Amino acid sequence: MARLDKKKFLPMLNKFKLKNYLFAIVIVLAVIQCTTPRTEMNKHWKNYNTAVSNGDIATAIVEVNSIYAFDTTNQAVLDTLSRLYFISGNSYGAFNTTKRINNKSRDQKMIMAESALQIGMQGEAKALFTELNDADTSGSFIGIKYKLATLHFSDKEYEKAIALLNEVTLHDNSMTQTTRVKVGDNSFQDVSLYAASWNFAGYIQLLNGDLAAAEEYFNEALRAQPNFALAKNNLVLLNQEKNKKD
């Protein structure tokens, strides 16, 4: 039986060990590269959860942006970021972030539509609210109809606006769902969508010169909500128009 020549074998063994050692280092480095982002992400998620618990939205946004940097294809992270921007009042951030989400849900389209409205992108907001309204086969999302009516009004499409407002008033939930309307330079009032829609339709009729219809609509708004300041102000305008014709 032949015996191993140690002088020849040891150099071969050392060479083999060196190769394996180098290979092991490569594997360890690869593992570190894989686990470091995960460790970093876990750290950012922990910071995010702490920030949310403390109501610190600004920090939460920073942490989610850091998480997204590690995984730019993660749609769930984009959704979280868009909602945080929306809650914080950063309409530009909310709109642009939501725009990058694929296969948007109704809620995501709502965020995008509301954000577009806030930053003055009337055309984009109108298109999105129209899409949302068309998809609402149950007709239950009357707040969308009201928002869309305001956009038709801005484009002087008064008949379309009134048609949508009528749809709102016919819905059972219009008495309980509310919207915030501007009643002065820096003052707002929360009123039912029912009252807001009748008042809005009345104002359109006032612009059209149909004073009788306008008066009827304003009174209906006040019947539903007697403290509705804007409807009261509009009745004053109506009486001024009546006096001009007398």
Summarize the confidence of residues 138-163 as an average pLDDT. Answer: 93
The 10s digit of each residue's pLDDT in 25-79 is 333 333 333 444 678 778 888 888 888 888 888 998 898 898 888 888 888 889 9
Q: Does 126 lie in the same domain as 164?
A: no
Q: Does 170 lie in the same domain as 129?
A: no
Q: Is the pLDDT of residue 23 over 80?
A: no
Q: What is the CATH number of the domain that holds 91?
A: 1.25.40.10
- Mean of the per-residue pLDDT values for the chain? 84
Summarize the confidence of residues 141-162 as an average pLDDT. Answer: 95
Name the most confidently modeled range: 6-20, 43-57, 107-121, 132-146. Answer: 107-121
d(CA 120, CA 133): 20
Cα atoms in the 13 Å half-sphere on the side-chain side of 112: 24
pLDDT of residue 109: 95
Position 125 in a domain:
yes
The 10s digit of each residue's pLDDT in 155-206 is 999 999 999 999 999 999 999 999 999 988 889 999 999 999 999 999 999 9
Q: Does 92 lie in the same domain as 130?
A: yes
Q: Is the pLDDT of residue 100 over 70?
A: yes
The answer to whether residues 114 and 148 touch, using CB atoms and an 8 Å cutoff, is no
Q: Does 164 lie in the same domain as 88?
A: no
pLDDT of residue 29: 33
Q: What is the CATH number of the domain that holds 205?
A: 1.25.40
Least confident of 20-24, 65-69, 234-238: 20-24
d(CA 25, CA 42): 25
d(CA 133, CA 156): 19
Torsion angle, alpha carbons of 26, 30, 35, 41, to 10: 140
Look up the domain containing 119 and give its range: 58-135
In Å, how far are 90, 123, 131, 219, 238 from 226, measured between CA atoms? 35, 35, 34, 9, 17
Q: What is the pTM of this model?
A: 0.76
